[in-house]
Amino acid sequence: MTTITLGAAINAGLRRAMNEDPRVLVMGEDVGRLGGVFRVTAGLREEFGAERVVDTPLAESGIVGTAIGLALRGYRPVCEIQFDGFIYPAFDQIVSQLAKTRARSGGAVTLPVVIRVPFGGGIGAVEHHSESNEALFAHTAGLRVVACADPADAAGLIRRAVACDDPVLFYEPKRRYWDKGEVDITMDLGDLPAMDRARVVRQGTDCTLVAYGPTVRTALEASAAAQEDGVSVQVLDLRSLSPLDVDTLYRCAKATGRMVVVHEASTFLGMGAEIAAAVTEECFHALKCPVLRVGAYNMPYPPSRVEEEFLPDVNRVLDVVDRALGY
């Protein structure tokens, strides 16, 4: 076990995947010489060379389109989108080609492409640098969408994503890149947690907080604060947004009878809406109150000086937990 940041954990996971499979390559804007804008790919070009760590032009559609071509020739490309809001020029390539090719070919053609997306706010960035667009891709059949929350899970989850034969959108919480935790990078791939399974990161009996990516830490802090008032709050890290681990969601909802979903994206048509609908349909008689949601407001991302008022924090989460307990 070694203590490293979340960014370094993804780097370690990529390095392990590249060492184990020569077909894996990394590509994106400034991923080589610079090591990525967040330095997540630092050192990989020096170790694996410019042919496997490729600095691309500033053209997201071209990056993903080239990755599709490489995957058709047997490679396993890992693309970096510098910031979440930069992914839109590649939207057609992702939803019309990457997501559809396996079905279009009757399963004969696979496209094992990973698209790494730093997402969420909290770093004081300018416009188009703090989006939470995961629901757009979770809605698209044919794509897997996952989000890491801490260093230990990030290192294994990126290896699982690279090994997957389906295209994977890999969301990385940019405000958590510098969070530290213990990581075991020596684990064999088969011993790592499955990519499509949620995990309970804190036990509780009165209410379940469901979170992913940057809000897992927020939920854990809210749970700790609630414990001081005698309220036992369970925290569930979704990890996989598509497919959803509904079995674990249902089990947690039935165990506590109350569920609150927390994400940085707008609550309108967000992941929380789908979770609320699915849990209500399956667990209606076990619920003590409606499934509630905490998220950003339904508006364009605001200037950085007010982003902390826009994003859900511990106090907003606790307010909604209080609402759930009051039913």
Q: pLDDT for 43-53, tens place per residue?
A: 999 999 999 99
Instruction: Give me 178's structure tokens.
Output: 């510098």
pLDDT of residue 80: 98
- Does the pLDDT value for residue 211 go beyond 90? yes
Are domains 2-191 and 199-326 of this chain identical in fold? yes
- Domain segments of the chain as ranges: 2-191, 199-326
- Does the pLDDT value for residue 177 go beyond 90? yes
**Fold for domain 199-326?**
Rossmann fold (3.40.50)
> Mean of the per-residue pLDDT values for the chain?
97
pLDDT of residue 226: 98
Q: Note the pLDDT tens digit of each residue in 160-172.
A: 999 999 999 999 9
Q: Note the pLDDT tens digit of each residue in 62-112.
A: 999 999 999 999 999 999 999 999 999 999 999 999 999 999 999 999 999
Tell me what the mean pLDDT of segment 1-16 comes to: 97
Q: What is the percentage of the chain residues whose pLDDT exceeds 70? A: 100
159 with 17: CB under 8 angstroms?
yes
| pLDDT-based confidence at residue 1 (cuts at 50, 70, 90) | confident
Active site residue ranges: 129
- Cα separation of 209 and 20, whole Å? 37
pLDDT greater at residue 192 or residue 327: 192
Tell me what the mean pLDDT of segment 188-199 comes to: 96
pLDDT of residue 78: 98
| pLDDT-based confidence at residue 118 (cuts at 50, 70, 90) | very high
Phi and psi torsions of 321, nearest 5°: -60, -40
218 with 234: CB under 8 angstroms?
no
- Does the pLDDT value for residue 314 go beyond 90? yes
| pLDDT-based confidence at residue 260 (cuts at 50, 70, 90) | very high
Closest CA to 30 of 70, 88, 84, 80: 80
CATH of 2-191, one of 3.40.50.10800, 3.20.20.140, 3.40.50.970, 3.30.450.20: 3.40.50.970
Q: Note the pLDDT tens digit of each residue in 271-308.
A: 999 999 999 999 999 999 999 999 999 999 999 999 99
